[in-house]
């Protein structure tokens, strides 16, 4: 029996620039096509760090030429990145499936994700985005636009934005209808276009970045998925990562994962959101399972041969 699988693609699935992305999308398409060929329903989500950074930089350069040009809101840049990444992924996957004789429509859904305007993340922006600046440039930007800026790990100054938690995915019903019609869906790219509800029926973009691992978890819950597969740059999750006593984990219960989280085994901003998303999904309903593994090992991991599996013990 095929499973309903939500697959999250990490940065390594898409590369750092235009030509890398087109090439990476072909490799990624093979991994995803393996799952589809095995009879699974698949929804794909992805990150967008380098892509949204490129879009922001391009508009910053444009504003230097055209000082009166309007500021492009971050939510608009996220929307653009969903379209641009969807363009490459959708085409690569369509081609890979057709090459295998599988006729299955592939479609990208622009996805809005509601966040809470009172989320404490808005009081404390933590997510660096866009290009590096000198301290002077950063302070000028902050004074002119009210943007928060921060020194980023000795590399220079950057804009920082809030990273609030996803509350609701607006296009869930559309994604579900496409899935049930047998289509392969790419959705919630870059964690989704961040919006808040203002008034009864209106959604407005906000300058924030939603973590793609939390947004993917929310989508997997809303779609009633059986399996959440987080594809990244490591084959398994480790404790004592990069230390002499490092140990790769094949199985992890949500309770054990919580203990490891408290002990600080997972780096914030990289492995921590994945393990937190895994715990939330595994605890959200019986039988729900999460796999964290390498992009290239997706098929093997779903067949039970590798990766770290997170689920409630029998
Ligand atoms: P992605 O783009 O897939 O979200 P990230 O770089 O954000 O990738 O997160 C994955 C990275 O997390 C791994 O490549 C690894 O370097 C790092 N990492 C941090 N802590 C751990 C850990 N405990 N076990 C495995 N990997 C870890
Ligand atoms: Mg990440």
Residue identifier of the C-alpha nearest atom 9 of ligand 1:
270
Mutate to test the pocket of ligand 1, among 28, 31, 128, 232 (most ligand atoms within 8 A of CB): 232
pLDDT score of 238 more than 90: yes
Torsion sign over Cα 8, 9, 11, 16: negative
Ligand with minimal distance to 163 CA: 2
pLDDT score of 13 more than 80: yes
Residue 147: band (very low, low, confident or very high) from pLDDT cuts 50, 70, 90: confident
pLDDT score of 268 more than 80: yes
pLDDT score of 130 more than 80: no
Active site residues: 11-12, 127, 212, 274
pLDDT score of 108 more than 90: yes
pLDDT score of 233 more than 80: yes
Residue 213: band (very low, low, confident or very high) from pLDDT cuts 50, 70, 90: very high
* Domain 229-314 in the same topology as domain 1-115+166-225: yes
State residue 171's pLDDT score: 98
User: What CATH class has 229-314?
Assistant: alpha beta
Give CA–CA dist 34/297, Å, rounded: 10
State residue 116's pLDDT score: 98
- For the residues 101-126, what does the mean pLDDT come to? 97
Atom of ligand 1 nearest to the CA of 230: 3
Residue 165: band (very low, low, confident or very high) from pLDDT cuts 50, 70, 90: very high
State residue 314's pLDDT score: 85
State residue 205's pLDDT score: 98
State residue 152's pLDDT score: 84
The token pair at 266 is 């997972």
Range with the poorest average pLDDT among 5-14, 54-63, 180-189, 256-265: 54-63
Percent of the chain with pLDDT over 90: 88
pLDDT score of 195 more than 90: yes
Residue in the block written with tokens 């933590």:
126
What separation in Å is there between the alpha carbon of 268 and the centre of ligand 1?
A: 9
pLDDT score of 10 more than 90: yes
- For the residues 267-286, what does the mean pLDDT come to? 96
Q: Burial level of 137, CB count in 10 A (0-12/13-18/19+)?
A: middle
Ligand with minimal distance to 307 CA: 1
Beta strand segments in the chain, E: 4-9, 41-46, 106-108, 112-114, 127-133, 148-151, 157-161, 168-169, 184-186, 193-197, 203-205, 227-232, 237-239, 247-249, 251-252, 289-294, 308-310
Residue 248: band (very low, low, confident or very high) from pLDDT cuts 50, 70, 90: very high
- For the residues 183-212, what does the mean pLDDT come to? 97
Beta strand segments in 88-225, E: 106-108, 112-114, 127-133, 148-151, 157-161, 168-169, 184-186, 193-197, 203-205
Q: Is 84 in the pocket of ligand 1 (CB under 6 A)?
A: no
In terms of DSSP bridges, do strands 203-205 and 193-197 run parallel, antiparallel, or are they unpaired?
antiparallel
- For the residues 55-61, what does the mean pLDDT come to? 91
State residue 127's pLDDT score: 87
Domain ranges of the chain: 1-115+166-225, 125-161, 229-314
Q: Is 234 in the pocket of ligand 1 (CB under 6 A)?
A: yes
- For the residues 65-87, what does the mean pLDDT come to? 96
CATH of 1-115+166-225, one of 1.10.340.70, 3.40.50.300, 3.40.50.150, 3.40.1160.10: 3.40.1160.10
Q: Is 271 in the pocket of ligand 1 (CB under 6 A)?
A: yes
Q: Is 113 in the pocket of ligand 1 (CB under 6 A)?
A: no
What separation in Å is there between the alpha carbon of 314 and the centre of ligand 2?
A: 30
- 102 or 155, which is more confident? 102
Mean pLDDT of the residues in the chain: 95
The 8-class DSSP code of residue 26 comes to H
Q: Is 177 in the pocket of ligand 1 (CB under 6 A)?
A: no
pLDDT score of 1 more than 80: no
């Amino acid at each position: 029996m095929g499973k309903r699988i939500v697959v999250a693609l990490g940065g390594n699935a898409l590369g750092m620039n235009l030509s890398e992305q087109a090439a990476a999308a072909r490799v990624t398409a093979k991994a995803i096509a393996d799952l589809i060929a095995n009879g699974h329903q698949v929804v794909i989500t992805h990150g967008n760090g380098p892509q949204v950074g490129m879009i922001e930089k391009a508009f910053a350069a444009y504003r230097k030429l055209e000082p009166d040009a309007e500021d492009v809101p971050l939510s608009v840049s996220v929307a653009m990145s969903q379209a641009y990444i969807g363009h490459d992924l959708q085409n690569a996957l369509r081609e890979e499936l057709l090459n295998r004789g599988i006729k299955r429509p592939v479609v990208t859904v622009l996805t809005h994700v509601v966040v809470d305007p009172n989320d404490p993340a808005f009081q404390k922006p933590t997510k660096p985005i866009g290009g590096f600046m000198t301290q002077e440039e950063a302070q000028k930007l902050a004074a002119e636009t009210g943007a928060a800026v921060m020194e980023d790990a000795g590399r220079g100054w950057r804009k920082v934005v809030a990273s609030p938690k996803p509350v609701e995915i607006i296009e869930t019903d559309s994604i579900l209808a496409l899935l049930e019609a047998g289509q392969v869906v790419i959705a919630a790219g870059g964690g989704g276009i961040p919006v808040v509800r203002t008034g009864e029926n209106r959604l407005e973009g906000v300058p924030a970045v939603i973590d793609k691992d939390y947004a993917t978890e929310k989508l997997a819950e809303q779609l009633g998925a059986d399996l959440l597969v987080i594809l990244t740059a490591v084959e398994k999750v480790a404790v004592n990562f990069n230390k002499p006593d490092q140990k790769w984990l094949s199985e992890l219960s949500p309770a054990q994962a919580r203990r490891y989280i408290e002990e600080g085994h997972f780096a914030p901003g990289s492995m921590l959101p994945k393990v937190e998303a895994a715990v939330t999904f595994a605890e959200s309903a019986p039988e729900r399972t999460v796999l964290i593994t390498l992009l290239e090992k997706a098929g093997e991991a779903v067949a039970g041969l590798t990766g770290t599996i997170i689920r409630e013990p029998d």
